[in-house]
């Protein structure tokens, strides 16, 4: 499986043929039960036997795909163990033909054995079906929220700016330059945008913790997503401010003063 060891060794051929009571533990198990010490050589009891630790392996998502911090261990299956075994066969190329061959061979040896074979991709697809549905629904709700936020930010900002048309007319009547008026209003609007960004990022950071269990290999506080949403909504707010100002500047001053 390509899982590397960080300490100790793996199982030897003599141990496998003699049903030796040895185990390789995960990093999380080593840190939890033997903190600050080398677990190799220590013993623990599991599966009705006393196992000796011979190595420590890297953490993987074995029990739950959403969490690799679950302690577990690898041990040798004894002949009298009544366990559901899941042997892994590493192949090159198409594995569908090999799956049928494996099932047929086992059934030919013992028809009473309940055996099935599938590729790793098929296993992962089946395991991720519920998560993918949740992610699809969450993404749809997220897109809807982004659309509503865009409409809300644009509408409120545009309305608030258009309400200052009379002020724009007064400034133009007093000789204010159009470029200076645009920059002044945008600078003032940045205060509102800044407050909205700070509050929005804070609330988003709190809400993102609820989605952490649906993410695989992605931080719930993903900086790219936060920065992209911030830039997008900021641009929406700037456009919402600029268009009413530009429209008012092109309008006759006397019409603005009414």
Give the tens place of pLDDT for each residue, 169-186. 777 777 777 777 778 877
CB 74 within 8 A of CB 47: no
pLDDT value, residue 213: 62
Backbone φ and ψ of 208, nearest 5°: -65, -25
What the block records as the tokens of 81 is 């163990």
Is the pLDDT assigned to residue 148 strictly greater than 80? yes
pLDDT value, residue 216: 62
Domain ranges of the chain: 5-80, 129-257
Q: Are strands 22-26 and 73-75 parallel, antiparallel or unpaired?
A: antiparallel
> 3-class SS at 74?
strand
Model pTM score: 0.56
**Beta pairing partners, 55:** 8, 24
Distances, alpha carbon 81 to alpha carbons 48, 52, 78, 233, in Å: 10, 18, 5, 60
In angstroms, rounded to a whole number, what is the distance separating the alpha carbons of residues 41 and 206? Answer: 44
Closest of 19, 40, 21 to residue 29, by C-alpha: 40
Helix locations, 86-175, DSSP H:
96-109, 120-162, 165-173
pLDDT digits (tens, 9 = 90+) for 184-240: 877 877 788 888 888 888 888 887 777 666 666 666 677 888 888 889 988 988 888
pLDDT value, residue 102: 82
* CA 212-146-233 angle, 5° bins: 110
Distances, alpha carbon 58 to alpha carbons 90, 120, 160, in Å: 20, 20, 57
pLDDT digits (tens, 9 = 90+) for 64-86: 666 667 888 998 877 666 666 77
């Amino acid at each position: 499986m390509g899982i590397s060891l960080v300490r100790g060794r793996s199982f030897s051929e003599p141990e496998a043929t003699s049903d030796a009571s040895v185990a390789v533990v995960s990093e999380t198990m080593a840190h939890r039960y033997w903190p600050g010490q080398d677990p190799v050589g220590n013993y623990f009891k599991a599966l009705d036997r006393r196992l000796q630790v011979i190595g420590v392996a890297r953490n993987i998502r074995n029990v739950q795909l959403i969490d690799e911090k679950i302690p577990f261990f690898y041990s040798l299956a004894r002949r009298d163990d009544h366990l559901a075994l899941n042997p892994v066969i590493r192949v090159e190329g198409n594995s569908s033909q090999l799956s049928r061959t494996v099932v047929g061979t086992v059934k030919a040896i013992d028809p009473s054995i309940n055996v099935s074979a599938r590729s790793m991709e098929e296993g992962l697809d089946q395991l991720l079906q519920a998560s993918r549905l949740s992610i699809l629904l969450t993404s749809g709700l997220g897109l809807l929220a982004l659309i509503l936020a865009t409409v809300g930010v644009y509408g409120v900002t545009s309305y608030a700016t258009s309400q200052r048309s009379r002020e724009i007319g007064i400034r133009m009547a007093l000789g204010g330059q159009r470029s200076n008026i645009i920059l002044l209003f945008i600078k003032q609007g940045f205060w509102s945008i800044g407050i909205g960004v700070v509050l929005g990022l804070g609330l988003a950071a709190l809400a993102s913790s609820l989605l952490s269990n649906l993410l695989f290999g992605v931080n719930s506080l993903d900086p790219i997503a936060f920065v992209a949403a911030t830039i997008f909504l900021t641009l929406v707010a700037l456009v919402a401010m600029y268009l009413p100002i530009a429209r008012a500047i092109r309008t006759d001053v006397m019409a603005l003063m009414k």
